[in-house]
Amino acid sequence: WVTESVSKKGQYISPAYEKVWGRFLKDVDDFVESVNPEDQPIVVAALEKQKRGEKTEIEYRIKHTDGSVHWVWDRAFPIFDASGKVKNVAGIATDITNRKQAHESVRYSRNLLLALSRAAESVQRARTPEEIYRAVGDQIKGLGFDATVLTFDNERKHLSLNYTTFAAQMIRAGEKLVG
């Protein structure tokens, strides 16, 4: 993309913009409106820096017209005229949604493995079913799951995991990760 620095009019917008955003770019205000409200201050600050002739590199979320959220990595640099004033700003915006989702999936998997490892250590030290329940339940809750997936048998001697409930919770968590 290339914009005129003063008027903010788009001089060149890649056709890929419509694919990533799901719409044609009308103007800079339309662009800012497409950015997730939590990320708009970051984008507006970057636009101000660009007007002053500063390079910028930011990541932000946008709202696609289909309702999905996309992550964008945006790099911009000034183009100066012969007198040294900022004439245009050029940049590259890349959809990094898949990378962000993969990173989140790896982070979540790492946390799950750490929790399972801690639970296994706690189970080895436990002396009673209640201690096992508490140790494993704490780790499950730490991951954001409902600890009621753990149940004792009638004699309170054996602890079991309700795999159906746990699997359903894991599926919901996975769905949140991939949007």
Phi, psi of 51 (to 5 degrees): -65, -30
Helix axes 97-125, 163-178, angle to 10 degrees: 150
pLDDT in tens, 104-146: 888 888 887 887 787 778 777 877 777 776 777 777 777 766 5
Q: How far apart are CA 42 and CA 48, in angstroms?
A: 10
Whole-prediction pTM: 0.65
- Whether residue 29 contacts residue 48, with contact meaning beta carbons closer than 8 Å, is answered with no
pLDDT digits (tens, 9 = 90+) for 23-77: 877 777 888 999 999 999 999 999 999 989 999 999 999 998 898 999 999 999 9
